[in-house]
Amino acid sequence: MTIALTRPRTVRLRSLRLARPGVVLAAMFLILALIAAAWPGLFAGDPLRADPLHVLEAPSGTHWFGTDQLGRDVFARVVHGARHSLSISVSATLIAVGSGILLGLLAGLSHKLADEALSRSFDALSAFPLVLLALLFIAIAGTGTTSLIVAIGLSLVPHFARVVRAQTFVVRRAAYVTHAVAFGAPRSRLVLRHVLPNVLGPIPVLAVIGLGEAILLAAGLSFLGMGPQPPSPEWGAMISEGRGYLHIAWWASVLPGLVVTATIISLTVAGRFFQRRFEGRELP
């Protein structure tokens, strides 16, 4: 008699087929957004070309998303805006993940008092409104794209630091770490070879969901005028500019807004999908 060590193939195939139209849609949308960020010219023309004869025109065959107050094609601006918005959010998320791992490791590996102080501040800060944290940084460092990226990154740090700390706390007590200590492994090797790789497990999933938050925050802050200045096509800034013409041209702000929303929903759906995969739970 043989014992099946893996699940039968048919089951996996079925669960793949059932992988939900939502997940497939989300994946497709994200891929499109990535392509748009990499080669915006592939989809759309010049985002800065103004056309005074066709100002605030409704969506049509030639202008899919209509035109804005200067006659610029809103669709082209949204496509080119993907590069701005995504690079801001991705850089911010990288800052958050990097510093989060560092601080989390530091807290999880340090002595009781320091750990207590650090993890309490992570807890408190991660419950604090992100917008306020980011605005506080911008108030100190001034407005601008770099400052926006760092502000978003720093306000997301506590989330990652918290998770890494919790993981570190578990891993440092694992048998293989104790063994490595018993074999006299130096501290640096202990941290880099044994603790760090085992702490990183949940990070990719969290990073995907964190990226969604970064996009939301970036759009919000540049809506407030804290991000790239006009005429650069950034999603939040476009929504903010279009706000002034809402009474005659809803498309100039609502359609870019819908793209932001679709991106964030796609990231959340993808993140949750990976999370279920990662935790080995079946799709409900």
Partner 1 sequence: MITAILRRAGAGVLVLWAAATAAYLALLAAPGSTVDAIIGDGADTPGIRAQITSEWHLDRPAVVQYLDFLWRAAHGDLGRSYLLQRPVSDVIGSQLLPTVKLAAAAAVFGVLLALVLALVARRLTSTFGLVLVSTPPFLIGIVLLSVFSFRLGWFPVSGDRGFAALVLPAITMGLPIAGTLAQVLRDGLDRALDEPFAVTARARGLRESAVLTRHALKHALLPAVTMLGWSFGVLIGGTVIIEQVFGRPGLGQVTVQAVNASDLPVVLAVVILAAAVFVVINTVTDLAYLLIDPRLRRS
Residues of this chain that bind partner 1 (CB under 8 A): 121, 124, 127-132, 135-136, 138-143, 212, 216, 219-220, 223-226, 236, 239, 243, 246-247, 250, 253-254, 257-258, 260-261, 264-265, 268-269
Which amino acid is present at 84? Answer: H
* In the complex, minimum distance from the CB of residue 168 to partner 1, in angstroms, rounded to a whole number: 23
* In the complex, minimum distance from the CB of residue 15 to partner 1, in angstroms, rounded to a whole number: 19
Q: For partner 1, which is the closer residue by CB, 26 or 97? A: 26
Q: For partner 1, which is the closer residue by CB, 28 or 200? A: 28
* In the complex, minimum distance from the CB of residue 129 to partner 1, in angstroms, rounded to a whole number: 4
Q: For partner 1, which is the closer residue by CB, 50 or 131? A: 131
* 74 and 47 Cβ atoms separated by less than 8 Å: no
Long-range contacts of 192-200 (CB under 8 A, 24+ apart): 195/105, 195/109, 195/168, 195/171, 196/101, 196/105, 198/167, 198/171, 198/174, 199/101, 199/104, 199/105, 199/108, 199/164, 199/167, 199/168, 199/171, 200/101
Q: For partner 1, which is the closer residue by CB, 171 or 209? A: 209
Q: For partner 1, which is the closer residue by CB, 198 or 268? A: 268
* In the complex, minimum distance from the CB of residue 189 to partner 1, in angstroms, rounded to a whole number: 35
Closest CA to 87 of 233, 206, 204: 233
Q: Which of helix, strand or coil describes residue 180? A: helix
Q: For partner 1, which is the closer residue by CB, 171 or 217? A: 217
* In the complex, minimum distance from the CB of residue 43 to partner 1, in angstroms, rounded to a whole number: 22
Q: Which two tokens stand for residue 86?
A: 């995504």
For residues 243 and 232, give the distance between their C-alpha atoms in angstroms, rounded to a whole number: 16
- DSSP codes of every residue in 209-239: HHHHHHHHHHHHHHHTT-SSPTTS--HHHHH
* In the complex, minimum distance from the CB of residue 103 to partner 1, in angstroms, rounded to a whole number: 15
* In the complex, minimum distance from the CB of residue 148 to partner 1, in angstroms, rounded to a whole number: 12
Element (H, E) at 206: helix 203-223
- DSSP codes of every residue in 28-95: HHHHHHHHHHH-GGGT---SS---TTS-SPPP-SSSTT-B-TTS-BHHHHHHHHHHHHHHHHHHHHHH
Q: For partner 1, which is the closer residue by CB, 68 or 172? A: 68
